[in-house]
C-alpha cells in the first residue's frame, strides 16, 4: 500500500519535469539564458586549463607588451602591466560566479528557515522575525552594503559578507508568504489529522511546495549578486587589484579610457552577458514553475 | 548637515525620475497593446538589457560614444571647469540659471545632466516597463474589458481607464521600490561621471574609512525610500476605492 502511494506521488513530478523541459526549449529567451549561463559556468570551471597565459592570473609584469590592442596573440588586448585581458576575464568569471552563487546560497540558507519558522509559528515570534527583516529592507541594498563594507573594511570577503547581510531578508519574505499560504491548504490539515509530525509536514509538504519560487528567485539573484559585487569592485570597496575581478578591472580601465578603450570592453561585456543569462533563465523558469506570479 | 543638504540637490537624479515616469508606463502600455509584435519584442529586449547592463560600464560606454567620439555632450561633472558657477539660490543649477535668465548657463547645465540621467534611469525604467506590460496584458484579458468593448466604450477609454487603472497598482509598488534603488545607484553614476553628490561623498568617505558621512548618507537614502513607499501606499487609496476603507 505504501509503495503504491509512493509511486503515484512520484510519477507526476517526472512527467512535470519533462513538460517543464519541453516548455523551456520552446522559449527563445529561456534558451538564450540557458546558453549564456552554460557558457559562463563552463568558462569558470575550465578556466585555469584553457586560459592562454596562466601566469597572468595573479598579475605578472610584462611592460614591453602593455596596453596592446586586440591581436592574434592577445585576443582582447593587454592591460597596463602587459597581462592578457582574455586570461583575466575568464578567471574573473570564476570569481564572479563563485561569489554570486555563494551570496545567493548563503542568503537562502539564512533566510528560508527563518521565513518558514515565522510563517508556521505565527504570533510573537513571527512579529520579531518579520520586523527585524523590515529593518534590513528599509535601506536600499547597495547603500547598506557600502555602509557595511565601510565598517568591515574593503576586500572581496567583506563585500561578500556585506551582500549576504543585505540579501537574506528577501528570502525571509518569500518563505514566510509561501509558508503562510501553504499552512491553510487542506492537504496540510489532512497530513496533521493523519498524525504526521511537525518535522514531516515541514519536510514533505511545506518545503517542496515552496521550492519553485525559491529556485526562480535564486536564479535571478545570482545575476544581481554578480552585478552587485562588480559594482562594489568598481567603486573600490570590493576585490582589490591585481585580483582579476570584472568590476575592479573596469575601475582601472577607466583611467585608460579614451585611448585604450578596448581594455574596458571585455569585463563589461562579460558582466552584462552573465547577468543577462541568469535573468533570462530565471524569467523562463518562472514562466514554467510559477506562472501566476509575474513580478519584475 | 549643510554638506549633505548642498549635495542632495541632484539635478540628474531629478532628470532620471522624470524620464522614468514619462516613459516607463506608456512604453509598457504600447508593448502590451502590440503583444508579440515587433514593438513588443523591441521593448522587452530593451527592458531585459536595462536590468542586466552594469550602470557604471554603461556610463563609460555613453561617455566614449557621445562625449569622446561624437563630441556632442560633455564627459563629466556639473559644469565645464572653465565656467564659474553662480551664487546658489536653490542649489539646483538648472533652476538657478533660469531664475537669473542665464540661458547659456542653463544649456550648459542641461547638457551635463543628460548622460547621467539616462544611465541612472535605465534599470528603473526597464523594470517598470516589464511590470506594467505584464499587468496590462493581464488586465486587457479581463471580463470587464470585454464587457466595456461590448458596450461600445472607445478603445482609448478602455485602455486608459479600465485597464490601466487596474494595472497601475502593482506598477506603483515597483515605482516606489525602484525610486529608492535609483537613489542608491547614484553612488555608481556619480562615481562614473565625477558628479559631486551624496553618492560620491559616501564612496570617498567609505574608502577613506570615515564612517560618519556614510551613516548620514545611509540614513538619508533610507528615509527617502520610506517616504517614497509611504506616498505609494497613499496613492493606492486614490486608485483603488476598496483600499480606502482598510
> Is B215 in contact with A154 (Cβ distance < 8 A)?
no
Q: Please, are residues A44 and A66 in contact by the beta-carbon 8 Å criterion? A: no
Question: A interface toward B at CB cutoff 8 Å?
Answer: 29, 138-144, 146-147, 149-151, 153-154, 223, 227, 230-231, 234-237, 247, 250, 254, 257-258, 261, 264, 267-268, 271-272, 275-276, 279-280, 283, 294-296
User: Could you read off the pLDDT of A206-242 as tens digits, one per residue?
Assistant: 888 888 888 888 988 999 999 999 999 998 888 887 7
Entry pTM: 0.85
pLDDT: is A176 or B103 the higher one? A176
**Phi, psi dihedrals of residue A84, rounded to the nearest 5°:** -70, 125
pLDDT of residue B33: 86
Cross-strand bridge partners of residue A78: A84
Q: For A10-28, what is each residue's pLDDT tens digit?
A: 456 677 778 777 877 777 7
Bigger pLDDT: A228 vs A137: A228
Q: What's the pLDDT score for residue B1?
A: 54
For residue B7, what pLDDT band results from cuts at 50, 70 and 90? low
Question: What confidence score (pLDDT) does residue A278 get?
Answer: 93
CA distance A127 to A136: 15
**pLDDT 10s digits, B123-153:** 888 888 888 888 888 888 889 999 998 998 8
- pLDDT value of position A70: 82
Closest CA to B240 of B172, B169, B173, B170: B169
pLDDT of residue A169: 92
Measured CA distances, B2 to A73, B6, B7, B230 (Å): 55, 6, 8, 26
Interchain proximity B181–A264, CB inside 8 Å: no
Which chain A residue lies closest to B206 (C-alpha atoms)? A150
Please tell me the distance from the alpha carbon of residue A275 to that of residue A219, in angstroms, as a whole number. 10
Distance CA B217, CA B7 (A): 10
CA distance A3 to chain B (A): 43
Q: Which of A154, A250, A276 sits opposite B56 (nearest CB)?
A: A250
- Chain B residues closer than 8 Å to A149 by CB: 206
Strand partners, A84: A78
Nearest CA to B210 out of B218, B221, B202 is that of B202
Q: How large is the average pLDDT for residues B9-33?
A: 77
Instruction: Compute the CA torsion angle B225, A276, A16, A113 (nearest 10 deg).
Output: -40
Mean per-residue pLDDT, A261-271: 89
Q: What was the ipTM of the complex prediction?
A: 0.83
Handedness of CA A256, A257, A259, A263 (dihedral sign): positive
pLDDT beyond 50 at A5 = no
Q: pLDDT value at position A270? A: 94
Place B96 in a pLDDT band, splitting at 50, 70 and 90: confident
In the predicted model, what is the mean pLDDT of chain B? Answer: 81
Q: Residue A294: what pLDDT?
A: 47
Residue to test with chain A: of B57, B62, B130, B138, most A Cβ within 10 A: B57
Q: What are the φ/ψ torsions at residue A240 (nearest 5 degrees)?
A: -100, 140
Least confident of A66-75, A138-147, A257-266, B217-226: A66-75
Tell me the pLDDT tens digit for each residue of B182-240: 888 888 888 888 887 788 888 888 888 888 888 888 888 888 888 888 888 888 888 88
Instruction: Cell 564612517: give the residue.
Output: B211
Amino acid at each position: 500500500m505504501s509503495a503504491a502511494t509512493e509511486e503515484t506521488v512520484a510519477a507526476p513530478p517526472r512527467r512535470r519535469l519533462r513538460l517543464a523541459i519541453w516548455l523551456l526549449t520552446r522559449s527563445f529567451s529561456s534558451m538564450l539564458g540557458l546558453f549564456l549561463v552554460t557558457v559562463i559556468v563552463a568558462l569558470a570551471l575550465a578556466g585555469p586549463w584553457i586560459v592562454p597565459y596562466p601566469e597572468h592570473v595573479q598579475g605578472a609584469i610584462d611592460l614591453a607588451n602593455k596596453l596592446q590592442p586586440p591581436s592574434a596573440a592577445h585576443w582582447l588586448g593587454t592591460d597596463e602591466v602587459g597581462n592578457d585581458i582574455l586570461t583575466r576575464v575568464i578567471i574573473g568569471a570564476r570569481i564572479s560566479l563563485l561569489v554570486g552563487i555563494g551570496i545567493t546560497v548563503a542568503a537562502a540558507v539564512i533566510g528560508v528557515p527563518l521565513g518558514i519558522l515565522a510563517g508556521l509559528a505565527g504570533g510573537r515570534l513571527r512579529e520579531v522575525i518579520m520586523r527585524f527583516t523590515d529593518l534590513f529592507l528599509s535601506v536600499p541594498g547597495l547603500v547598506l552594503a557600502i555602509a557595511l563594507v565601510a565598517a568591515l573594511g574593503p576586500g572581496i570577503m567583506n563585500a561578500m559578507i556585506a551582500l549576504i547581510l543585505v540579501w537574506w531578508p528577501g528570502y525571509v519574505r518569500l518563505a514566510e508568504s509561501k509558508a503562510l499560504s501553504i499552512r491553510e491548504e487542506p492537504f496540510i490539515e489532512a497530513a496533521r489529522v493523519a498524525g504526521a509530525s511537525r518535522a514531516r509536514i515541514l519536510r514533505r509538504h511545506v518545503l517542496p511546495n515552496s521550492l519553485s519560487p525559491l529556485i526562480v528567485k535564486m536564479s535571478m539573484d545570482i545575476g544581481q549578486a554578480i552585478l552587485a559585487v562588480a559594482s562594489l569592485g568598481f567603486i573600490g570597496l570590493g576585490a582589490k587589484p591585481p585580483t582579476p575581478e570584472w568590476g575592479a578591472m573596469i575601475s582601472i580601465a577607466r583611467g585608460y579610457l579614451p585611448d585604450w578603450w578596448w581594455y574596458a570592453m571585455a569585463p563589461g561585456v562579460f558582466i552584462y552577458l552573465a547577468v543577462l543569462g541568469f535573468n533570462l533563465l530565471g524569467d523562463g523558469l518562472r514562466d514554467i514553475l510559477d506562472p501566476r506570479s509575474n513580478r519584475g | 548637515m549643510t554638506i549633505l543638504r548642498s549635495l542632495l540637490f541632484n539635478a540628474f537624479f531629478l532628470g532620471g525620475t522624470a524620464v522614468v515616469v514619462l516613459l516607463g508606463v506608456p512604453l509598457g502600455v504600447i508593448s502590451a497593446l502590440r503583444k508579440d509584435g515587433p514593438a513588443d519584442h523591441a521593448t522587452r529586449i530593451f527592458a531585459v538589457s536595462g536590468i542586466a547592463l552594469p550602470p557604471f560600464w554603461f556610463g563609460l560606454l555613453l561617455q566614449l560614444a557621445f562625449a569622446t567620439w561624437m563630441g556632442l555632450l560633455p564627459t563629466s561633472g556639473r559644469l565645464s571647469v572653465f565656467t564659474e558657477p553662480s551664487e546658489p539660490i536653490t542649489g539646483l543649477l538648472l533652476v538657478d540659471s533660469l531664475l537669473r535668465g542665464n540661458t547659456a548657463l542653463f544649456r550648459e547645465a542641461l547638457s551635463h545632466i543628460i548622460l547621467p540621467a539616462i544611465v541612472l534611469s535605465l534599470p528603473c525604467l526597464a523594470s517598470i516597463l516589464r511590470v506594467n506590460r505584464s499587468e496590462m496584458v493581464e488586465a486587457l484579458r479581463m471580463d470587464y474589458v470585454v464587457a466595456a468593448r461590448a458596450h461600445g466604450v472607445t478603445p482609448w477609454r478602455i485602455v486608459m481607464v479600465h485597464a490601466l487603472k487596474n494595472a497601475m497598482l502593482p506598477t506603483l509598488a515597483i515605482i516606489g521600490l525602484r525610486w529608492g534603488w535609483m537613489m542608491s545607484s547614484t553612488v555608481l553614476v556619480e562615481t562614473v561621471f565625477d558628479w559631486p553628490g551624496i553618492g560620491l561623498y559616501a564612496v570617498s568617505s567609505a574608502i577613506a574609512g570615515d564612517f560618519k558621512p556614510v551613516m548620514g548618507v545611509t540614513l538619508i537614502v533610507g528615509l527617502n525610500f520610506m517616504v517614497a513607499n509611504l506616498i505609494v501606499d497613499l496613492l493606492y487609496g486614490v486608485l483603488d476605492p476598496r483600499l480606502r476603507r482598510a
